[in-house]
Structure 1
């Protein structure tokens, strides 16, 4: 659980949702999928057994990663690629085979970053095959996004690949793109998707409780944040651990540019966390006078109290620059400011 305190720094790592693979070669390892953290309960039922996998229509075999990799490499080296692809389409056993790691030949062609072969296989495969998840619950779309293969992402989206499927960390491919700053991939994923289909994806939280906008904010991806805003992303969506909005996260990062971007596009300046802390509480608690001033310029309510019964002023800790933002002619009754009391 992330630290909910208003005055303590929260390590960025505690809020960040890391991808299921640090580098592409790791998906070639035989690895049992990890269970999500006990702090989260997500739609994991369909992942509980091999029989329930989306690729249940496929047959496993003794074909190894290396042998399928050799096939892909052979096709790549072939001077008559179209003929070789045609031959592949007639080899039903090959096209309906997965490796021990759950990868189809499409997964492998993407791993090898062979754009041509990947595009041809996308054309050959029915939509259902495009959404097969490997043992890390990664679809071909996840892998193409990790590797920033924009043309493959475009081909998958055009063919109708699902954007809603989540990998072992709960990330959709759009989460991955937002986290890694793959702006072109985000563009391709959202370009032609109807709002009714995109909205659930933008609302989806990974197992760390983070939506796409949170990941974009945490990784300071301004361009991606602008794209998500244009597509109707909810600026006030709360992450699942402490109830922070993207504005809270931007304040924690001391990123005044992100704060200004969010406020200018209508983010709620007084949005409360689960513990009642507003962005102003966080800015003052972190002694960030510039951001506190900006929040006040956008109308932040200085009198709001968190669950500890603290106003932002209570967290100023003698900082003159921050104290200057608060009026000192308020009447105090039992420690509470009273505004507009008649005399």
Structure 2
């Protein structure tokens, strides 16, 4: 029922690029791929910052920092003429991936080897930078998880795709919003025009959440400001129940986010799929402070949800809430009437 939704507190495949290297091999016109020549298991103590396994093969296969260094050592980072042929070593670098879909760049980032990662970014063309592993993570996703800001910056400058989604439907910017990686979010949005940023900001993950929704859910006020500067839609609805960022902030009793969203022009009367406005949610949760803010911002106290309830119907005798509604004691046929003040 809509009234229950208003009252209760809620906690809240084919989008992937070609992660197989085969299509890129055809671009390179190289010979059949060789088996990786390095051993890919190794230390796992640096992986705790990532929510789940970034390369499950590491328990049985490994790459060490020394191995990574050997791979890129002596490689010429000078610009090559478009017509020049790649050496065998260069082809091997570009076409070697693990059984879990990780390129050497994925592995360098997982090992938090910033210098080596930046060398590899210079070496690799954009097609390789956007390869997704078996969890659909790009190097940009991993660098964001691990808060490697300089790596994120270089990937974005090289043209890494901001729109690519991992197995949870999250873009790298979603990851930054969820984990409070403000510096990474700044690098991903810094030099991108609002018109180019708009499609990225509209992407929903598989839970129906955009970047702004995730920032609001995680109380990431600085990131919210970044997104708004890029003209994020303040009233965009998440895909499961139609909540806006204002609904989510209200549910969390996050008065700072509510103030920010209202000051930026969020619609106080935006309704969820069940018709509940943010005022319904605030009153249903007995949050007089947020209800007062919404009323001061012009929220319509007479809007009804799908259960034909106004926000006042959910007040449950709370004097602080009732004080926001003038003449609340006047009722006709069981319905409250707001009289005109004289």
TM above 0.5, yes or no, is yes
In structure 2, the residue matched to 1:55 is 21
Q: CA offset at residue 331 of structure 1?
A: 5.6
Structure 1 residues without counterparts, runs of 5 or longer: 16-43
* Contact 1:256–1:291 under 8 Å retained in 2: yes
* Contact 2:325–2:338 under 8 Å retained in 1: no
1:126-158 CA-to-partner distances (Å, cap 9, x unmatched) read: 111100000000000000000000000000000
Matched, 1:258 2:257: yes
Aligned 1:167-206 pairs, distance under 5 A: 167-206=166-205
Aligned 1:1-343 pairs, distance under 5 A: 5-10=5-10, 12=11, 15=12, 44-45=13-14, 53=19, 55-57=21-23, 59=33, 61=35, 63=37, 64-66=39-41, 69-70=63-64, 72-76=65-69, 83-86=73-76, 90=87, 91=89, 92-328=91-327, 332-337=331-336
* Contact 1:217–1:249 under 8 Å retained in 2: yes
Partners of 1:318 and 1:60 lie apart in 2 by 74
Partners of 1:261 and 1:223 lie apart in 2 by 11
- Summarize the Cα distance change of 1:54–1:243 in structure 2 as closer, same or farther, 3 Å threshold: farther
Task: Out of 93-102 and 178-187, give the one that drifted further.
Answer: 93-102
1:152-176 CA-to-partner distances (Å, cap 9, x unmatched) read: 0000000000000000000000000
Partners of 1:283 and 1:293 lie apart in 2 by 9
Helix, strand or coil: the match of 2:5?
coil
* Contact 1:4–1:275 under 8 Å retained in 2: no
Helix, strand or coil: the match of 1:239?
coil
Partners of 1:315 and 1:60 lie apart in 2 by 67
Q: CA offset at residue 337 of structure 1?
A: 4.5
Helix, strand or coil: the match of 2:75?
helix
Partners of 1:176 and 1:3 lie apart in 2 by 33
- Summarize the Cα distance change of 1:319–1:234 in structure 2 as closer, same or farther, 3 Å threshold: same
Q: CA offset at residue 53 of structure 1?
A: 3.7
Partners of 2:112 and 2:36 lie apart in 1 by 24
- Summarize the Cα distance change of 1:116–1:210 in structure 2 as closer, same or farther, 3 Å threshold: same
Partners of 2:246 and 2:20 lie apart in 1 by 37
Calculate the aligned-residue CA RMSD, in Å: 2.5
* Contact 2:118–2:151 under 8 Å retained in 1: yes
* Contact 1:61–1:99 under 8 Å retained in 2: no
Q: CA offset at residue 9 of structure 1?
A: 1.3
* Contact 1:216–1:224 under 8 Å retained in 2: yes
TM-score of the aligned structures, taking structure 2 as reference length: 0.82
Q: CA offset at residue 93 of structure 1?
A: 1.9
Helix, strand or coil: the match of 2:22?
coil
- Summarize the Cα distance change of 1:309–1:241 in structure 2 as closer, same or farther, 3 Å threshold: same
- Summarize the Cα distance change of 1:183–1:60 in structure 2 as closer, same or farther, 3 Å threshold: farther
* Contact 2:328–2:338 under 8 Å retained in 1: no
Q: CA offset at residue 328 of structure 1?
A: 1.4
TM-score of the aligned structures, taking structure 1 as reference length: 0.81
Q: CA offset at residue 60 of structure 1?
A: 7.1
| Count of residue correspondences | 301
